[in-house]
Every structure is written in structure tokens, then in C-alpha cells.
Amino acid sequence: MSHTNHPYASIILRTCVAALFLCGWATSWGQSPDKHKQPRYSKYFTDKTLRVEYYRVGNSHWDTIELHGYGSKRQWAGSGKVLLDPFDYGTYRVLVKDRRTGKEIYSRTYNTLFHEYCDTPEGKDSVARMEEVVLLPWPKAEVDICLQKRDEHQQFQTSKTLHFDPACTPIAPAIDCGRISHEPTVRLQYNGAPRKKIDIAIVPEGYGPFDIDKMLDDMKNFTEYIFSVEPFKSRREDFNVWGVLQPGESSGITDPTKNIRVNSTVGASYGTFGSDRYLMTFYLFQLHCVLGSTPCDHIVIMANSETYGGGAIYNFYAISAVTSMSPHILPHELGHSIGGLADEYVEEEGSYADIHKTPYEPTEPNITNLVDFEKKWKDLVDADTPIPTPPCTLDNPMGTCGPVGVYEGAGYAAKGLYRPVMNCMMRYYAPFCPVCTRALNAIFDIYL
């Protein structure tokens, strides 16, 4: 049994010990739950959000989960129709089962910083303890919350089962962030009820008490950058954008390469896992604290620094510095965080050259190792386009050339992984390719 320092841990663990339903084996990749048999929202859930905070502890060989606590403050902003994840792009999955019947009533897949850590040299053997948060619709009756991850055969296996009883499981007020005085949330773009829209919450990072005007201007600019590219542009009415007006103590972003240390709102820093431009935060509990009651399907951290940098993880968060490159960086990062898309570039020197190495198809929709290409974008490739497709010459670095095909070099690897076009937003800031566009539109649809 795992340990936690949380004051409610003993009560939570005691109720969990009584759990009878094991979460068991899950569906394999590609055999997603039947989209037409979605559970009825109003039968199982109220209009509130249940926030589950936990630590993932371990390294590339093993990991375990320690519950930190449950929180609730927000209305449910997620889908009211598509409760079971139809795509399963992520490495991890939260699966909720009705306790009385065992029926699967909610699932979402996601990725984590911990997963990336495991692919760094340090993550091979050193043990890390990392914060993670999942958001669920608030159950009406007792449920089992199964926290799962894929095994080496890509099957989801349950790491931990949490028994949650809405009538008696304690909600920890401490994790609802009593210390932080919440400034109001601004509607940067409002198109309708959060349950029927994709809600993006912008969290300002590295803005001091005297940066409020800049913060608001930057939020408005960020909103425009998101909707300056397709398919976000023509789907603009399907999104709400919220700005959290929460200035920190001082200005700027921590950058170890420049010896800059800032006590910023959510603790973001350049130099994550040894990469200068990889700007991320490990403080997920604080991040969700700061969000407070802001409706939120996806988080964008807006980092007040002119140094190029950013990052994003599927159904986790996206972050971008406020630089002249933000109009390009931001849609790319949302491709990861909202769309579950993989990078289409090659970076064999980095830590992640092997992160997509698998005898199965990678789970992301926009890269393939040709093991099961039928399931990817074969239907978008003309019959006379060779597979693999020979490269063509780009006339400019942010342009593209050639038809939709299968071009070698993707997902950080120069060999063995393939991308749909020569250049795409997920490679070097060209427009999203037809494969990425289709995947994004399909994801947008589940929120409406």
C-alpha cells in the first residue's frame, strides 16, 4: 500500500481497502469504447468537477501512485456527451466505473511529465515524485476511479484504484487553495455554456504586481494567436477562452542557464530535463489551485519572458513564452495538449529519440512506423503516392511541398518513424497538415 502525508489519507485509504471491483483489463489501442454506446451524463454525474490530485513516484522500471486528495470548485466544463474516450491517444488513462454495476462511465487518456522523465538518463534509475491531476465529472453515486497506464503491449493496466463515495469521501479544503486570493476570471472569448464549448484557461506566469496591463494585453494577443491558424480559425465559435487574473510576486521566469531565479505563480522554468528551451512546471497542484473555479478543459500557461521556449503534454497543459515566436509556438503546443499530436521533427541528440520506439503503432494519430498504417492516414494518401514517400525540397523553411504521404523522420527519430507531409505545424510551424487537421477537428467535436 502506498503512503501519503495528506491528513485525510487514512480515511481515504480505509474506504479504498473495501473496494471490491478491480479495474481489471482495459480495451487495447485501436479498440476504443463504442462511440454509440456512451453513458448518459445526467444518470451518473452532477454539473460539478471532481479534481483528483496524486503523486506518481518511481522511474523507468516501476512507478506507484500516492493520493494527495480530492478537490472541487469548478463547474464541469468537459463533454456532456462523449464520456468514454474514443481515441485513447495517451499513455495513461483514468477510467471511472459505477461501483454498483461495474459499468464504465467515464474515461480519458493523457500524458505526463513523468513519462518524459523516464526517457531521460536520470529517469532510468533515479526515483522521482511528481504531481499529477485528473479532472472528472462529479459522480452521483459511489465509483471506482482506476488510474491506468499502458504496459509494453500498449494494454492499459490499473496502477491504483480509488474508491470515491460522494456522500462520505472527504474533500480537502486545503487543496482548494485557501492561501491564494482569487482575482476574477476574465472572459477573453465567450461563445456559450462551458459544457458545450472547448474551454481554454490562460494562466499568467511571471507577471508581477505592476504588470497587470501587460498581462491583459498579452492574454488578448494569445487568444488571437490561437485562432489565427486553421483548424482553430474556422472553429473559433466552438471555444471559450478565460483569463485568470492572478499576478505573482515578481516579474520574469526562472532560467537556470542565465542564473535567473523567480518566485513565480506556478513555478515554471526553462531547462526542463536539460533542454534550454523546454519551459515547463512540475507544480500541478499549484497550477490547479490558481485556476480556482475557472471553467477549464485545457490550460495554457502564458510565461512572461522574451526567451524562446515552451512545451505541452496531452490533456496536461501547454505553456509558451511571450515572444515574437508565440503566434507559431502556441498553436504547435495546443496541437500536443488538445490534439494529442506527436512532434513531426527529428532530434536524435535529445533525450527522447526512443520515446516512440515500439513494435506496435505509436498511439499518436500523426506519426506511423508502418506497422498498422491502415489505422492511421492511409485513406488520405493517393494510390500513386509511393510509401514511403521520397522527400521533396522546401522552398522556404516554414512552407511545405509534395502530397500527403509517408515521409521518413518524425517523433524525434530520423529512421523508422514517418510523418504525413514534408512540413507541418508539428514539425516546423507550417500550417497543420491534413492528418493533424482531421485529428484536431475530431477532438474538438467531442466537447460540443
Q: Is 337 in the site for Zn ion (CB under 5 A)?
A: no
- Least CB distance from residue 79 to Zn ion, whole Å? 24
Q: In this chain, which of 343, 352, 381, 411 binds Zn ion, going by CB under 5 A?
A: 343
User: Which span sits near Zn ion by CB under 5 A: 161-169, 268-276, 295-303, 425-433?
Assistant: 425-433
CA distances to 87, 309, 347, 356 from 351, rounded to whole Å, are 27, 17, 9, 12
User: Which span sits near Zn ion by CB under 5 A: 82-90, 166-174, 361-369, 410-418?
Assistant: 361-369
Task: Compute the distance between CA of residue 297 and CA of residue 9 in angstroms, rounded to an integer.
Answer: 28
Burial of 40 (0-12, 13-18, 19+ CB in 10 A): exposed
CA distances to 115, 208, 378 from 369, rounded to whole Å, are 20, 47, 12
Minimal CA–CA distance to 285: which of 399, 179, 148?
Answer: 179
Minimal CA–CA distance to 304: which of 323, 278, 277?
Answer: 323
Q: Is 433 in the site for Zn ion (CB under 5 A)?
A: yes
Each residue 133-152 as x (binds Zn ion by CB under 5 A) or -, in order, gives --------------------
Please say whether the dihedral angle defined by the alpha carbons of residues 147, 239, 219 and 325, taken in this order, is positive or negative: positive
- Least CB distance from residue 341 to Zn ion, whole Å? 7
User: Which span sits near Zn ion by CB under 5 A: 81-89, 120-128, 255-263, 360-368?
Assistant: 360-368
Q: Which is nearer to Zn ion, 57 or 380 (CB)?
A: 380
- Are the C-beta atoms of 353 and 372 separated by less than 8 Å? no
Q: In this chain, which of 329, 426, 443, 446 binds Zn ion, going by CB under 5 A?
A: 426
Q: Is 116 in the site for Zn ion (CB under 5 A)?
A: no
Q: Is 299 in the site for Zn ion (CB under 5 A)?
A: no
DSSP letter at 226 equals H
Task: Compute the distance between CA of residue 397 and CA of residue 340 in angstroms, rounded to an integer.
Answer: 24
Q: In this chain, which of 128, 262, 436, 440 binds Zn ion, going by CB under 5 A?
A: 436
Strands 298-303 and 317-321: parallel
Q: Is 112 in the site for Zn ion (CB under 5 A)?
A: no
Kindly report whether the peptide bond that precedes residue 388 is cis, defined as omega within 30 degrees of 0: yes
- Are the C-beta atoms of 164 and 139 separated by less than 8 Å? yes
Q: Is 253 in the site for Zn ion (CB under 5 A)?
A: no
Please say whether the dihedral angle defined by the alpha carbons of residues 93, 94, 97 and 99, taken in this order, is positive or negative: positive
- Least CB distance from residue 291 to Zn ion, whole Å? 23
Q: Which is nearer to Zn ion, 77 or 436 (CB)?
A: 436
Q: Is 266 in the site for Zn ion (CB under 5 A)?
A: no
The one-letter amino acid code at 315 reads N
- Least CB distance from residue 347 to Zn ion, whole Å? 10
Q: Is 52 in the site for Zn ion (CB under 5 A)?
A: no
- Are the C-beta atoms of 288 and 282 separated by less than 8 Å? no
Q: Is 430 in the site for Zn ion (CB under 5 A)?
A: no
Q: Is 440 in the site for Zn ion (CB under 5 A)?
A: no
The residues, any chain, with a CB within 8 Å of residue 14's CB and separated by 6 or more, are none
Q: Is 424 in the site for Zn ion (CB under 5 A)?
A: yes
Residues in region 184-223 near Zn ion by CB under 5 A: none
Site size toward Zn ion (CB under 5 A) is: 6
Q: Which is nearer to Zn ion, 290 or 329 (CB)?
A: 329
- Least CB distance from residue 110 to Zn ion, whole Å? 16
Q: Which is nearer to Zn ion, 165 or 348 (CB)?
A: 348
Ramachandran assignment for 102, one of left (phi > 0), alpha (psi -120 to 50 degrees), beta (any other): left
Task: Compute the distance between CA of residue 70 and CA of residue 134 in angstroms, rounded to an integer.
Answer: 10
- Least CB distance from residue 433 to Zn ion, whole Å? 3
Q: Which is nearer to Zn ion, 16 or 421 (CB)?
A: 421
Q: Is 355 in the site for Zn ion (CB under 5 A)?
A: no
User: Which span sits near Zn ion by CB under 5 A: 57-65, 88-96, 258-266, 430-438?
Assistant: 430-438
Q: Is 85 in the site for Zn ion (CB under 5 A)?
A: no
Binding interface with Zn ion (CB under 5 A): 343, 366, 424, 426, 433, 436
